[in-house]
Amino acid sequence: MEFKHKPVLLDECIEGLNIKEDGIYVDGTLGGAGHSKEILKRLSSKGLLIGIDRDLEALEAAKSNLKDYENVKYVHGNHDDIDEILKELQIDGADGILLDLGVSSYQLDERNRGFSYLGDNKLDMRMDKTQSLTAGDVVNNYKEEELADIIYEYGEERFSRVIARNICREREKKPIETTAELVKIIENSIPKSKQNNGHPAKRTFQAIRIEVNNEIKPLYDTVLKCIKSLKKGGRLCIITFHSLEDRAVKKAYIEAEGRCTCPKDLPYCVCGAVSYGKIINKKPIIATKEEQNENSRSKSAKLRIFERK
């Protein structure tokens, strides 16, 4: 299957990165390389793009999509380790870093990966197939309370307790192995009258995917690592699709900006706030109505930009 991924907030990201033609740029979520191709178009032969992705299939697709460009380094890894990756590549700092968080359109469409609640496939949901934890492990091995908390927090699912209870009841009979089996349990857990806001399994599948791929917990620290990996004047652009992601990014940006928390009547700062730069947009940038109509994935997208000083 062709790796298709329509880049969200593309123009806004390119503008936000403030690209220098001889600069070093990192796409920490390379995917189908839609954003990266536009970055490369603006780089001279002296510039460099580093593409990181934990999905080997995405990396192979990106290599094909970027075959006309030689100034690219491909890394099978996780953007959570961006400082170590740059160190291994002997790169002191980047002029720009882009993170487009969440799952790609390809991963959702490639049904055998188990990301989608449509069809009947093995419960997998791993972005990195070399990791051991799968959606099947989460569904069949996590305690009921753990499952309920994950589905509520990461999926914002109001029927999380019922869904978790019914999952545990069903897995006592036999392991839950496929997406269709899980969907049936979820559908039977939510009253029909409440199944009118999209597919009833959407929120639970999102929650399990976030847990499998550890998408939220390290994000705050990852953002700070990215900021510290920038050169002076370098920009960090992060696109989020979930309120928890956006909250973590916003919190890390405020921390990195080093806002003084001292009482205003003190003559000088005593709180020890250290500033690594400034937040470029106080409010997140969202997709235009036109883009939202063309690409439904962009409806929940928020872009935040930070500049290193």
* CATH number of the domain residue 149 falls in: 1.10.150.170
**Same domain for 264 and 189?**
no
**Same domain for 187 and 228?**
no
| Domain membership flag for residue 20 | yes
From 160, 183, 212, the end of a domain falls on: 212
| Domain membership flag for residue 135 | yes
Residue 206 near residue 155, CB atoms below 8 Å:
yes
**Same domain for 35 and 184?**
no
Decide: residue 272, CB within 10 A, 0-12 exposed, 13-18 middle, 19+ buried. Answer: exposed
| Domain membership flag for residue 119 | no
Our count of domains for the chain comes to: 2
Q: Given this model, what pLDDT does residue 111 score?
A: 64
Structure tokens at 266: 């003190």
From 192, 212, 232, the end of a domain falls on: 212
Decide: residue 173, CB within 10 A, 0-12 exposed, 13-18 middle, 19+ buried. Answer: exposed
Q: Given this model, what pLDDT does residue 106 score?
A: 64
pLDDT tens across the length of the chain (309 residues):
455 557 999 999 999 999 999 999 999 999 989 999 999 999 999 999 999 999 999 999 999 999 999 999 999 999 999 999 999 999 999 999 999 997 776 666 666 789 999 989 999 999 999 999 999 999 999 999 999 999 999 999 999 999 999 999 999 999 999 999 999 999 999 999 999 888 999 999 999 999 999 999 999 999 999 999 999 999 999 999 999 999 999 999 999 999 777 888 888 888 878 899 999 999 999 999 999 999 988 999 999 999 999
| Domain membership flag for residue 19 | yes
**Same domain for 205 and 231?**
no
Structure tokens at 260: 């003084």
Phi-psi sector, 131: left (phi>0), alpha (psi -120 to 50), beta: beta
**Same domain for 200 and 222?**
no
The range of the structural domain enclosing residue 303 comes to 10-102+216-308
**Same domain for 44 and 83?**
yes
Q: Given this model, what pLDDT does residue 108 score?
A: 66
**Same domain for 192 and 242?**
no
From 162, 194, 212, the end of a domain falls on: 212
